[in-house]
Amino acid sequence: MDTDRLILWLLDISGPGCYLALLACALYGVYCVIVLWRKVMQKRMSPKLSAEFMEQLRELIQNKDFDGVTALCDTPRYWSKAFPQLVMLAMTRRDRGLAKCRQFVEEKYEREMLAEMEYRYSWIIAMIKTAPMLGLLGTVTGMVLAFGKLSSATGGGADPQALAGDISLALYTTADGLVIAIPLTILAGMIQTRLSRLTDATAEQLNDFFQELQDAMA
């Protein structure tokens, strides 16, 4: 009997617990979306800005002004962007050969810049998967409570208001889980698209940069 009461007590408090867990899941998912979105927008360069930077970079490389290249990448307009950061990093390793320099720069991008953003993205996916599961937990809890009250009802029958509360808990938590997961899924898709564009643009810019650097050092 004590065990049954303990189980019922745990089920009773699990209702508010599901709502709190869903709220925490939603807040952390939105937080990760905001942080990752700002990070991607900070690292990417618009086509106009990229063209201006590449034009200045090409001129400095052709003149073999490598100190000027570093100074250009370190200006406030460019220092937060992914491509200028990688160019500045390449300048510190150019004496080791272009092949090793390029390998080092690409590994640095994947290991630090890209890995950090993918870490945030993985948490968004985790929240997308967790929210419906929490909703399902609330559904199961509500139905167990409702059927438990039906089975323990006396000849007068179960209280309709108590049953309605348990059933509404079951329905609301499922709906809340979906309401959290669906927008996060859309936002995650948008971020993934921008992250892929950032990676493709950075790879293309690095190809142009190393080709110019190879021609200048030949």
Structure confidence by residue, pLDDT tens digits, 140-158: 777 776 666 666 655 455 5
Query: Please, which pLDDT band fits residue 113 given cuts at 50, 70 and 90?
Result: confident
Query: Please, which pLDDT band fits residue 95 given cuts at 50, 70 and 90?
Result: confident
Query: Please, which pLDDT band fits residue 1 given cuts at 50, 70 and 90?
Result: very low
Look at the chain and report how many structural domains it folds into. 1
Question: Residue 171: which of 144, 134, 197, 135 has the closest Cα?
Answer: 135
The span from the CA of 177 to the CA of 122, in Å, is: 18
Cβ-count burial of 176 within 10 angstroms (0-12 exposed, 13-18 middle, 19+ buried)? buried
pLDDT at 126 over 70: yes
pLDDT at 124 over 90: yes
The span from the CA of 91 to the CA of 95, in Å, is: 8
Query: Please, which pLDDT band fits residue 121 given cuts at 50, 70 and 90?
Result: very high
Task: State residue 169's pLDDT score.
Answer: 67
Task: State residue 14's pLDDT score.
Answer: 62
Q: Token pair for residue 181? A: 């997961």
Structural domain harbouring 73: 2-217
A 10 A CB-CB count for 161 gives 7
Q: Which range (65-74, 150-159, 180-189) has the least confidence?
A: 150-159
Report the predicted TM-score, pTM, of the whole model to 2 decimal places: 0.80
Mean residue pLDDT across the chain: 84
E strands, the chain, in order: none
Structure confidence by residue, pLDDT tens digits, 19-48: 888 999 999 999 999 999 999 999 999 889
Average pLDDT over residues 152-174: 64
Angle 20-22-24 from CA coordinates, rounded to 5°: 70
Average pLDDT over residues 171-188: 91
Q: Which range (68-72, 113-117, 156-160, 166-170) has the least confidence?
A: 156-160
pLDDT at 87 over 60: yes
